[in-house]
Structure 1
Amino acid sequence: MAQQDWWRSAVIYQVYVRSFADGDGDGTGDLAGVRARLPYLAELGVDALWFNPWYLSPMKDGGYDVADYRAIDPSFGTLAEAEKLIAEARELGIRTIVDIVPNHVSDQHPWFQAALKAGPGSPERELFHFRRGRGLHGELPPNDWPSQFVGSTQPVWTRLPDGDWYLHLFTPEQPDLNWAHPAVRQEHEDILRFWFERGVAGVRIDSAALLAKDPDLPDLATAPHPHPFVDRDELHDIYRSWRAVADEYGGVFVGEVWLPDTERFARYLRPDELHTAFNFSFLSCPWDAERLRTSIRTTLAEHAPVGAPATWVLCNHDITRTVTRYGRTDTGFDFAAKAFGTPSDLALGTRRARAAALLSLALPGAVYVYQGEELGLPEAEIPRERIEDPMHFRSGGADPGRDGCRVPLPWTADAPHAGFGGEPWLPQPDGWAAYAADRQAADPASMLALYRQAIRLRPVFGHGPLTWLPAPEDVLAFTRADGVRCVVNLGTASVELPDHAELLLASGPLDDGGRLPEDTAVWLRS
């Protein structure tokens, strides 16, 4: 495959900097920690790193409240360190993808601070969505829009002492930008150039379908089609402009696009818009053969007309970790269903997560691995008094939030704090050291060893399309390159393997009769 098309089949590792590795011992992950662990990432075999926002931020929403896109938050390091990291990773053959959050900024961003000072009706407030309220004295919010935090009981409008209300689809500390304003568009194109010129290879676009709003801001209950703030047609002109910038530098985009309409989803992937978008159907799919088969078929079909590669994701910084999710009675994922104390069989979940790793890495397209997935980390239940995620608080305390998948990584089993660094900003559960990378690196049967082997062997599948093979109802079987197959048994009984010349890799041992046990995957060469 041509070098410029690396992103079509890349393995991309997601780095949540705050929880990856602490280089200065203050308990917060930082760029120094990432730089020190680049050899580990190179040995894992990944093609690129996607960094969650590392910009200057008050951290009211894990860095997704950005105060300055051209500065690194001091808790992570400096811009010079970021530039070194990008260069050092590239020397190891690893590209860098940064996260841009275009829907909103921090309330500490200079633009919003200027808007607060300028007052009602000012040009500064035109960069955001300021409105007078409804009701006799303007005491009611301008419309009925819901928060984008699922389960939130909080409004999306905040009233200022001067009587104006401002829109924030997320927290009050994240005011939404007005993308109908040319200065907003120009600023973001300049931000893209800023980071492309520092050597980044791509950009992940947060909440990519939310930027454009109906200028009338109508009530959701009475708004005519289309939706007043989700997947509006105006977005495509924005992304065409962005694509022109990316093409100047050979950069690529991946969009966070949650849409049930496959035809609408595919529009974002037209040749002059985004290169790729996250596949949330596969991520949230239960551990069920028919459901997964349908998700894979649908995903490939919706990408085919626009020639875009699919992406395969098992979890990320917002989603319950795979080992825990697959060990539950309900193995799917739904934000609205999250609850404290949900039981999980971690042995079962781990077996399934190992099989899912081989499944996802055998599929055509790009694969994203969230930090700690390669260690088989489970979801941690954070004590209520230590939770920081605003999703928890905006649900009135019902939602456990997302901190459970953001616990700092264990690196060294015998070191304090499992080798992360200083006392972590989120508590590591008892027994966390058992998952440490150094311990797993010495164990050929570990999750880390499986990921390293799978990523190294993955090129045997080539770049061709997927062809389904005859198989029992509870078994997924397909081939891509001539003679190389992936077989996954999601049933409750062992099944015979198809004829083959070589067993390339297995997620777990075969049974005593050489059959494929339940919740196990293999790669075969015929």
Structure 2
Amino acid sequence: MPSTETAPRTGALPSAPGSEWWRTAVIYQIYPRSFADASGDGIGDLPGITAKLDDLAELGVDAIWLSPFQRSPQKDAGYDVSDYCDVDPLFGTLEDFDAMLDGAHGRSIRVIVDLVPNHSSDQHEWFQQALAAGPGSRERARYMFRDGQGAHGELPPNNWESVFGGPAWTRVVEEDGAPGQWYLHLFDSTQPDFDWTNDEVREEFRRILRFWLDRGVDGFRVDVAHGMIKADGLPDYTPDPDAGSMGGEEAGVPYWGQDGVHEIYRDWHTLLAEYDGDRALCAEAWLPTPEQTALWVRPDEMHQAFNFAYLETGWDAAALRDVVDESIRAYAAVGAPSTWVLSNHDVVRHASRLALTAENPQGHGIGPDSPGKPIPEVGLRRARAATALMLALPGSAYLYQGEELGLPEVIDIPGEARQDPTWFRTGGERYGRDGCRVPLPWTSTGDAYGFNDTGASWLPQPAEWATLARDQQVDDPASTLSLYRALLEARRAHGLGSGALEWIDGLGPDAVAFRNGEVTVVANAGTTPIALPEGVVIVASGPIDGDRLPADTTVWMAQG
């Protein structure tokens, strides 16, 4: 990896001891290539983000998380990194990053950047050196190279499958032209896995962490944080075909959730503690239960972990009560906050997902031929109610760009326009994640709906973006954008992030009802109205009929 260094810049924003910002923060995920495009090439960029910081400050978020913007061949939208310490020219320059960071900090918005430590791009300097160096070399020891099985090594080392479909092993051709070793790639064949038992790999990622911390970032979201360490001997494993692709519904997977990952994060925790401002680590760890996920946020490890159990829970009152209880209990047991989330760049947007009537395993996506497609009106109503419920829970919360506009999953993307590796590696059997990554609509007019001034867009935008654009919602008190602004303002005013939950019984089986401090929250996940307790409405996800809460609606109330 290049040894580019930077002189330390201004530190991250301060945080008071005992009240670390990440315990209660609302963090807004930016998918840079789809947020705002200042250059006009059809791909969002860092100057585009900087130009929209006032909009994010007005929304009321505490921090932003940027999906990868580092140098990359873009075979997996930047999750195939070729240089961890530089900005890909698609997104701008390091100077553009610094300007964006300073602009965010000037508005009291913290900045978290994505880190992809499980694998690199096959164009990474280290992997190219490994191909040239040959078997048994120091260069190959940085990655998971293995000899094949069979009389001539013609079979892969084991039967593991890629998350994106197809085999997880690719055989290389050696310098002499002969078939050679195989390398592991849990994702695309252009994303070789590092060997994290190698001290050189560990030291290099310490350098990468310091590079960005010295620039002033407030933390890292760690991609595939439950990967990196593989079970000794790399035993065969056949996943459940009905389970999610990242291991969230299965236990005992030899390449997910191995104990050795915790040693890595203890080391990183110590490194981050050297810096001011409570720098934070957030784990993307798809594990079967909140109890298992909580192991990633023990006091000397990471600070947050995405609550995928909550994200994957349907719009069902009993299931929601159970997962909230289980989450608060599990995370509190290790002194960490629950970190709630409903959407991100890898899942069907919750304005569509909550109205699906057919199973859709994580990562598969939905498209024109998918069964059980959502009814848009039902999906939006439930999404607004689900967000109002989530933002009332104590702890931290993540929002995904565009959900504040009520954006649904884009279903009708033509096959020739799709770009997710999942689509190609499964021969179109799985639609993949393009539907949640379509560039945002900022204005109701213009060929790219304000994403840029040229009309270019790396994924096609649907005509309905005109009615959902930000400029159509900003002054409409009934809009989803106005709802999000009201929720975030009230959440802060009433200290809900640092509060405590007390369940309220007696409102019926379809109610999710609790008190958080002085605020009473009631969500109706059923089909018929339910009677509300007495109180004054602070904010509601939809119209309320007197003292009756309609279906698919959430209300926050204060004592009258």
Q: 1:266-281 residue pairs with structure 2 within 5 A?
A: 266-281=294-309
Aligned position for 2:420: 389
Whichever residue aligns with residue 425 of structure 2, its letter is R
State the secondary structure of the residue aligned to 1:271: coil
| Match status 1:467 vs 2:502 | yes
| Match status 1:186 vs 2:186 | no
- Aligned counterpart in structure 2 of residue 172 of structure 1, from 189, 195, 200: 189
Q: Is the 8 A contact 1:279 1:313 kept in 2?
A: yes
- Aligned counterpart in structure 1 of residue 257 of structure 2, from 214, 231, 242: 231
Q: Is the 8 A contact 2:365 2:433 kept in 1?
A: no
Distance change in 2, residues 1:367/1:333 (3 Å): farther
CA distance in 2, matches of 1:332, 1:144: 25
- Aligned counterpart in structure 2 of residue 492 of structure 1, from 527, 538, 554: 527
- Aligned counterpart in structure 2 of residue 347 of structure 1, from 377, 384, 390: 377
State the secondary structure of the residue aligned to 2:318: helix
Which stretch has the larger CA shift, 489-498 or 368-377?
Answer: 489-498
Residue 232 of structure 1 deviates from its aligned partner by 1.3
Residue 370 of structure 1 deviates from its aligned partner by 0.2
CA distance in 2, matches of 1:255, 1:133: 33
Whichever residue aligns with residue 27 of structure 1, its letter is G
Q: Is the 8 A contact 1:15 1:52 kept in 2?
A: yes
Whichever residue aligns with residue 178 of structure 1, its letter is D
Whichever residue aligns with residue 367 of structure 1, its letter is A
| Match status 1:369 vs 2:402 | no
Instruction: Deviation per CA, 1:97-128: give whole Å up to 9, x if none.
Output: 00001100000000001111111221100000
Residue 335 of structure 1 deviates from its aligned partner by 3.8
Q: Is the 8 A contact 2:365 2:435 kept in 1?
A: no
- Aligned counterpart in structure 2 of residue 125 of structure 1, from 122, 133, 140: 140
Distance change in 2, residues 1:514/1:465 (3 Å): closer
Whichever residue aligns with residue 507 of structure 1, its letter is S
State the secondary structure of the residue aligned to 1:213: coil
Aligned position for 1:253: 281
Residue 24 of structure 1 deviates from its aligned partner by 1.1
| Match status 1:44 vs 2:44 | no
State the secondary structure of the residue aligned to 2:273: helix
Residue 263 of structure 1 deviates from its aligned partner by 3.5
Residue 507 of structure 1 deviates from its aligned partner by 0.7
Q: Is the 8 A contact 2:290 2:307 kept in 1?
A: no
Residue 325 of structure 1 deviates from its aligned partner by 1.4
Residue 262 of structure 1 deviates from its aligned partner by 3.9
Q: 1:55-454 residue pairs with structure 2 within 5 A?
A: 55-149=70-164, 152=165, 154-162=166-174, 163-220=180-237, 227-249=253-275, 250-330=278-358, 334-335=362-363, 338=366, 340-342=368-370, 343-381=373-411, 382-421=413-452, 422=454, 423-454=456-487
Instruction: Deviation per CA, 1:349-384: give whole Å up to 9, x if none.
Output: 111111111101000111111000000001112110
CA distance in 1, matches of 2:235, 2:361: 31
Q: Is the 8 A contact 2:405 2:480 kept in 1?
A: yes
CA distance in 2, matches of 1:321, 1:166: 34
Instruction: Deviation per CA, 1:274-310: give whole Å up to 9, x if none.
Output: 1110000111111111111111111111101101001
Q: Is the 8 A contact 2:385 2:552 kept in 1?
A: yes
Whichever residue aligns with residue 308 of structure 1, its letter is A
Whichever residue aligns with residue 179 of structure 1, its letter is W
Task: Give the alignment's TM-score, normalised by structure 1.
Answer: 0.96
Q: Is the 8 A contact 1:285 1:332 kept in 2?
A: no
Whichever residue aligns with residue 491 of structure 2, its letter is R
Q: Is the 8 A contact 1:286 1:332 kept in 2?
A: no
State the secondary structure of the residue aligned to 1:102: coil
Aligned position for 2:7: none
Percent same amino acid at aligned positions? 50
Instruction: Deviation per CA, 1:411-453: give whole Å up to 9, x if none.
Output: 0112231011131010001221111111100211100000011
CA distance in 1, matches of 2:308, 2:290: 12
Whichever structure has more helix as a proportion of its residues is: 1
CA distance in 2, matches of 1:184, 1:17: 27
Residue 340 of structure 1 deviates from its aligned partner by 4.1
Which stretch has the larger CA shift, 441-450 or 390-399?
Answer: 390-399
CA distance in 2, matches of 1:340, 1:407: 16
Distance change in 2, residues 1:332/1:357 (3 Å): farther
Cα RMSD of the aligned pairs, angstroms, is: 1.7
Q: Is the 8 A contact 2:222 2:281 kept in 1?
A: yes
Provide the aligned length of Structure 1 versus Structure 2: 518
Whichever residue aligns with residue 219 of structure 2, its letter is G
Aligned position for 1:8: 23
State the secondary structure of the residue aligned to 1:237: helix
Distance change in 2, residues 1:263/1:503 (3 Å): closer
Instruction: Deviation per CA, 1:444-502: give whole Å up to 9, x if none.
Output: 11000000111011021442211101121100110111x311110111111111011x2
Residue 338 of structure 1 deviates from its aligned partner by 4.7
Task: Give the alignment's TM-score, normalised by structure 2.
Answer: 0.90
Whichever residue aligns with residue 464 of structure 1, its letter is G
Q: Is the 8 A contact 2:348 2:365 kept in 1?
A: no
Which stretch has the larger CA shift, 332-341 or 165-174?
Answer: 332-341
Residue 261 of structure 1 deviates from its aligned partner by 4.1
- Aligned counterpart in structure 2 of residue 476 of structure 1, from 512, 516, 522: 512
Q: Is the 8 A contact 1:339 1:398 kept in 2?
A: no
State the secondary structure of the residue aligned to 1:369: strand
State the secondary structure of the residue aligned to 1:477: strand
Whichever residue aligns with residue 220 of structure 1, its letter is Y
Q: Is the 8 A contact 1:286 1:333 kept in 2?
A: no
Q: Is the 8 A contact 1:55 1:73 kept in 2?
A: yes
State the secondary structure of the residue aligned to 2:388: helix
Residue 525 of structure 1 deviates from its aligned partner by 0.2
CA distance in 2, matches of 1:261, 1:390: 28
Whichever residue aligns with residue 12 of structure 1, its letter is I
Give structure 2 stretches of 5+ with no counterpart. Answer: 1-14, 175-179, 240-250
